[in-house]
A and B are shown apart, each in its own frame.
Chain A
Amino acid sequence: MALNPFEHADSASSVSGPPSGSDYLADSVFRIIALSCAALIILLILFILWEIGGLALPAMAQHGLSFVSGTTWNVGTQEFGVLPEIWGTLYSSFLALILGGTFGVAIAIFLTQDFIHARLAAVFRTIVELLAAIPSVVYGLWGIYVVIPMLRPVAEWLHSELGFIPIFGTELSGPGMAPAALVLAIMILPTVAAITVDAFRRIPYKVKEAAYGMGTTRWEAILKVMLPTASSGILAALVLGFGRALGETMALAMLIGNSNQINLSLFAPANTLASLLASSFPEAGQIEVQALMYAAVVLLLITLVVNVVGLGIQQYTVRKFEGKA
């Protein structure tokens, strides 16, 4: 119980008094609970890293950095290299980010900048967010039965007419980078759109007023004022979307073709780290499991680096544009 030096302050009617002992106790208990919840998360992450790292250790010792630079994955000869998967992971996520990011930001602008009635915008937003509720495997099936057949004529035309451009360099044989990236773009769209919508919503009305007061047209106000103002939030949205794309597994395992090759062509099959893990685990022996654990560590590292770099860029824009320390 805290000392109350004002006990004898003489105001007869005063009901002021110190907090009771149980108040202080509740304070400490609450603090301890909150602290342990936060600590638990950090411990959990460390634990996962420790366990996976431990399982991957034999493979790490055996293959070293050649694991990251190698291009073959052959269980028979025990040759394990994940460069094609690293390439496939980054390439598919990058394509998805360009597509999903562009559409996501455009949708956010459409929903927040008075193009439609606020109530209609809310309905629209809910529909976009519903995209996030569709299970990954359903996206995969939809990709196989709808996206790939739809892409086929387009891909054929692009390859025959513009085949000299590397990105159209091969024919679409079925699953491949293009359908995977397309579906991935749709999957990250709700994340990007929802967070970007919030970034635009956070802009105070006075900023919009200032823009129009300077005599901007609507597009000038959006492009020259609203976008820079929302830039840190939009970057956060893109980083989160990219992170989701990097780790997405099921739909990609169904759509990307699981082929161990590095190819710029959008129509060539490829593979990603996550889908390599998902498709190889069920039949993997002990040695391969160790290699797969190593691949998981690589994926974790990529995700970590992307998030840290993204966060850094976002902090930089906050400092640059918003002047906050």
Chain B
Amino acid sequence: MSATAEAMAPRAAAFTPVGPTVIDCQLQKVFYGDFLAVRNSNVPIEKGKITGFIGPSGCGKSTVLRSLNRMNDLIPIFRFEGHVKYHGQDVYGKNVDPVVVRRYIGMVFQQPNPFSMSIYDNVAFGLRLNRYKGNLEERVQKALERAALWKEVKDKLNKSGLSLSGGQQQRLCIARAIATEPDVLLMDEPCSALDPIATRQVEQLMLELKESYTVALVTHNMQQATRVADTTAFFGVDISQGGRTGYLVEMDETRRIFEDPQEDLTKQYVSGEFS
């Protein structure tokens, strides 16, 4: 892209959160091979808050989320320009092992993906991985309670995690992710495979989680963002360069994004003109 084209590209007014930021994410360009997937997305993640990522399909919101804990490293053709800093430290620094990053920044995925082992072992997985010396059972129970799953599984902790229903599996995955109490929890459309009741429970959990942790949430559901997110980042798709390139249109307090958006595109999106 030439300098002029870059200058002409729409660029969001930078959003600076009031409180301290945990992750300072500035992605100028994200590529998969030659394909420019995301550009100009500066998404600060504020401590102790829920940051929601919304936008139409293919807008790169998942890509941005996955850059935060280096999950994109699993895709060999992924590369990016910019930086992601976690507590001021470069996540992509030369001597930084992505494994370490992912132990501090946990993740819950779109599809429930419990391991084919017992419910107990699923939740204890991260604790054992980190060689946790304390009371394992207590931690497992606490994580399951917080994930609103304890009552349903307390009598069958030895049963396979895959024997649960879809909604229960997703809550199991959340329990697995929060058992180690990671500093930041990334959630990539965690409710898209859930029924309304399970969705409600997971949203309740997110609100509880932000008491002690930071949450970044990708959601396809605008109502979910209004219900739980403190700050919302709206991503759009730019098709002017030939491909479908996602970029940050606007980021602000959730209330402002939905009630008083500054960009026309945001206005159209939140009023349901396209999705």
Interface residues of A (CB under 8 A from B): 204, 206-217, 220, 224-225, 228-229, 231, 319-324
Contact = CB atoms under 8 A, between A and B. Distances in A.
A323 B164 contact: yes
A208 to B, nearest CB: 8
Contacts of A214: 102-103, 106, 125-126, 129, 176-177
Interface string B28-40: 0000000000000
Query: What's the interface size class on B, roughly?
Result: 20 to 34
B165 to A, nearest CB: 11
B229 interface: no
Listed residue (A206, A213, A225, A319) with the most chain B CB atoms within 10 angstroms of its CB: A213
B23 interface: no
A319 B163 CA distance: 9
Interface string B85-117: 000000000000001111100110101011111
Main secondary structure of the interface of A (DSSP, over half): helix
Contacts of B125: 214, 224
Given A320-B160, A323-B162, A210 B173 contact: yes
Contacts of A319: 160
Contacts of B100: 215
A215 to B, nearest CB: 4
A215 B99 contact: yes
Contacts of B157: none
Listed residue (B103, B116, B117, B173) with the most chain A CB atoms within 10 angstroms of its CB: B116
Contact of A206 (B106, B113, B118, B126): B113
B74 interface: yes
A207 B115 CA distance: 7
A213 B102 CA distance: 6
A139 B241 CA distance: 61
A204 B114 CA distance: 11
A215 B162 contact: no
A208 B115 CA distance: 9
8 contacts: A207-B113, A207-B116, A209-B109, A210-B114, A213-B107, A215-B99, A216-B99, A224-B129
A319 B74 CA distance: 31
B113 A228 contact: no
Nearest to B104: A215
A236 to B, nearest CB: 15
B117 A321 contact: yes
B129 A229 contact: no
B161 interface: yes
B109 A217 contact: no
Contact of A322 (B103, B106, B111, B116): B116
B200 interface: no
B265 interface: no
A224 B125 CA distance: 9
Contact of A323 (B69, B107, B111, B160): B160
Contact of A211 (B115, B130, B164): B115
B207 interface: no
Contacts of B176: 214
